[in-house]
Amino acid sequence: MQRSIRGATTVDNNDKAEILTATKELISHVLTANCLDISQITNMIFTCTKDLDSVYPAAAARELGITHAALMCFSELHVEGSLPMCIRLMINAEMDATQDAVKHIYLRNAKSLRPDLVNDKDTERKFFQIAIDGPSGVGKSTVAKLCAKELGFAYIDTGAMYRAFAYYCMEEGIDVDDAALVNKAVNDAPIEIKFIRGEQMVYSKGQLITEEIRAQAVAYATSKISAIHSVRERLVAMQQDIAKGHNVIMDGRDIGTVVLKDSPLKIYLDASAEVRAKRRVLELEKLGHKTDYQTILNEVTDRDYRDTTRAEGPLKKADDAIEIICDNMTAAEVCAVICALARKRL
């Protein structure tokens, strides 16, 4: 059944970044309070008061992965003495709940618009974290991205951060086997993570390196530098900081055991080394790289050994993680299983 959900929030300045952040916060609260995922949304209508014109608030929805719903932005009718700096939202979605069970969300100064609908329990920061761990080449990043789009969560590719630092070391001629040299470089490494149209982009020294860090040589170096305490300390802190205040899905080697130990949903995704090697060969061939299956298989098994035996954050299944063996599953099938689990726990 079609249901309508109302919401509103305010900002302090007519600033693009501030408007987008506030709008994302509002949308996330609406989705969480109503146990709604983005596939249920049919359309969203945004209005802004006349003092806000630096960006269309619908851009925030697109950045959250809401790409199939119809979006429209309008100017709010100006009435003397009305609440300034206000963003209003109406979402129409397919829901099983009755209309009177729908939770409307009013944040910040917008709470004064409809005090009769404001329930502080609905507007508490109830952020949901999904942790996905598993060995190299199992498809964690692909699955996590699909789940993020489906659920409207922010996707954090933690492995890309380690790859970025490994790439930086290789470009600077820093021996990744020399822990002392790596220790000196880690705090000053100019690694940046940006989100553009909902996609995570990785930069080193101001240059986009999202594709370059997927090379097999970088993957091999990554396994070495990720075992160094100072590297893990800096990057784990960065990951935890990003996860604050957002519904997130993260994948890596120790997300459920170290980074997001309190995550309400932990997944351990696994597949045989042979299947993972075949997938890696196909991935590299698509990128135009010549590959040898046996060489890739040897690298996969070698990395598995190093990842599971390293002293810092070894790869292992968290005690409360749900294991998914995906040898004979597509990424879409794995995504469906994880999203179903997430909706139940939400």
Dump the DSSP string for 54-103.
SS-THHHHHHTT--SSEEEEEEPPP-TTPPSSEEEEEEEEE-SS-GGG--
Same structural domain, 37 and 71: yes
Residue 272 CA to chain centroid, in angstroms? Answer: 26
Q: Are residues 278 and 207 in the same domain?
A: yes
Does the residue 124 lie in any domain? Answer: no
Assigned domain for 242 exists: yes
| 103 and 5 Cβ atoms separated by less than 8 Å | yes
Residue type, 53: D
121 occurs within a structural domain: no
Residue in this structure with the two tokens 């429209």, named with its chain if needed? 72
Catalytic residue positions, numbered: 6, 62, 73, 76, 88, 106, 114
Domain coverage including residue 58: 2-112
Q: What are 82's two structure tokens?
A: 């009305």
Contact residues for 314 (Cβ-Cβ < 8 A; gap 6+): 253, 254, 307, 308
Give the separation between CA 73 and CA 88, rounded to whole angstroms.
10
CATH number for 254: 3.40.50.300
Domain boundary among 63, 80, 112: 112
- Whether 121 has a pLDDT exceeding 70, the answer reads no
Is residue 80 domain-shared with residue 152, that is, in the same domain?
A: no
Cβ contact 234:294 at 8 Å: no
Buried b (16+ CB within 10 A) or exposed e, 12-36: eeeeeebbbebbbbbbbbbbbbbeb
Q: Per-residue pLDDT averaged across 325-330, rounded?
A: 95
Judge if 74 and 32 occupy the same domain: yes
Residue that is last in its domain, among 83, 112, 141 = 112
Q: Which helix (H) or strand (E) holds 216?
A: helix 216-225
The whole-number pLDDT of residue 150 equals 81
> Do 22 and 134 fall into the same domain?
no
Domain-located, residue 120: no
The answer as to whether 16 is a domain residue is yes
In 3D space, the residue among 106, 216, 120 whose CA is nearest the CA of residue 167 turns out to be 216
Beta carbons within 8 Å of 248's beta carbon, 6+ residues apart: 127, 128, 129, 130, 153, 154, 155, 156, 242
Do residues 66 and 41 touch, judged by C-beta distance below 8 A? Answer: yes
pLDDT at 120: 62
Specify the pLDDT at position 69.
94
2-6, 176-180, 326-330: least confidently modelled range? 176-180
Q: Are residues 285 and 230 in the same domain?
A: yes
Residue 241 scores a pLDDT above 90: no
Is residue 182 within 8 A of residue 231, CB to CB? The reply is: yes
User: How confident is the model over 173-197, as pLDDT tens digits?
Assistant: 999 999 999 998 988 889 888 776 5
For the chain, give the percent of residues with pLDDT over 90. 52
Residue 155 CB coordination number (10 Å): 22
Three-state DSSP state, 257: helix
Residue at 188: amino acid letter: D
216 or 54, higher pLDDT: 54
Per the structure, how many domains does the chain have?
2
Nearest of 287, 264, 275, 269 to residue 345 by alpha carbon = 264
Mean pLDDT of 153-181: 90
3-state secondary structure of 46: strand
The answer to whether the CB of 324 falls within 8 A of the CB of 269 is yes
pLDDT band at residue 138 using 50, 70 and 90 as cut-offs: very high
